[in-house]
Amino acid sequence: MSIFTEYYKEKENIGRLLVKCPNKPGIVAALSKFLFEHGADIIESSQYSSDDESNMFYIRFEYYCDGLSEKSAQMEDDFTELAEKFKMDFTFTYNKTKKRSAIFVSKETHCLLELLWEWQSGDLDTDIPLVISNHETAREIVEPLGIPYYYIPANKDIREEVEAKQIELMEKYEIDVLILARYMQILTPSFVKRFPNKIINIHHSFLPAFIGAHPYERAYDRGVKLIGATSHYVTNDLDEGPIIEQDIERVDHRDNIPSLKKIGQQVERRVLARAVKWHLQDRIIVKDNKTIVFH
């Protein structure tokens, strides 16, 4: 059995370090030395240097360290000096702390079903303390799994009242990530501001094409040859937040609106699931309105 396999038997001793900073010589060496000096063995390392005027550097480490639970606070404290030297924005995360996800859904359940299947099979490494919906449609899917289901009717006239209830639930359940699995409500700026880069949406088209309502009808009228989906972080610019993942399927003149929708739903399911997995695995660094995703 390999050392790598042995490491993953002790997941509580696995941590991740994400860094973004201005690019300059010596960053990788300094980070590697820091981890080595703190008894950490690097399992995975991915890096990227931008080639534009921003001249930024991005890196993700996954590492194993015996007794990480006891060492993590000191490691973070010790890292401050290095971070100041290289002007680093950084994040430490730990396998021992599983992220907690709230799923928001409306009438269409295909993305919800995909997420629940991935979760049940162990491929979506998260806790799901609740599902929130403005319809009762998904209750019979969710509650048999032992997940609390909150039906909160929503429309533009009561949006602030609805979001106050949702925020209360996010705080009660200590939610780390909000997944909009075809939740067909526009969120207010104050709600979005509370959860920066923590709300993941799936858009039922290939952004920036066909933003807004009825995308498949408009795609059909346009005679598109590709159907796609985009998962992105939610910002206050509708459907224009940092893109995490996209995918497409080829279609042709034989496809009508119902078949386009069916194909599109298949793409939506896999795109959202991949985006959520990458977020849960801390594989995404956001810079302005773009993402660096270390697959």
Supply the CATH number for residue 72's domain.
3.30.70.260
Let me know whether 218 and 235 are in one domain. yes
pTM, to two decimals = 0.93
Number of domains the chain is built from: 2
List all residues 6 or more positions away from 252 whose beta carbon is below 8 Å from its beta carbon.
Answer: 225
pLDDT value, residue 106:
97
Could you give the residue ranges of the DSSP H alpha helices within 135-256? 139-142, 159-172, 189-194, 215-222
- 105 with 8, same domain: the answer is no
Q: Residue 263 belongs to what domain range?
A: 100-293
pLDDT in tens, 198-226: 999 998 766 567 776 788 888 899 999 99
Residue-level pLDDT at 218: 87
Calpha distance 33→140 (Å, rounded): 52
The segments of the chain whose pLDDT lies below 70 read 1-9, 205-208, 212
Q: Are residues 193 and 53 in the same domain?
A: no
- What contacts 27, CB < 8 A, 6 or more positions away? 19, 21, 57, 59, 86
Q: Which of 51, 239, 247, 282 is catalytic?
A: 239
77 as an active site residue: the answer is: no
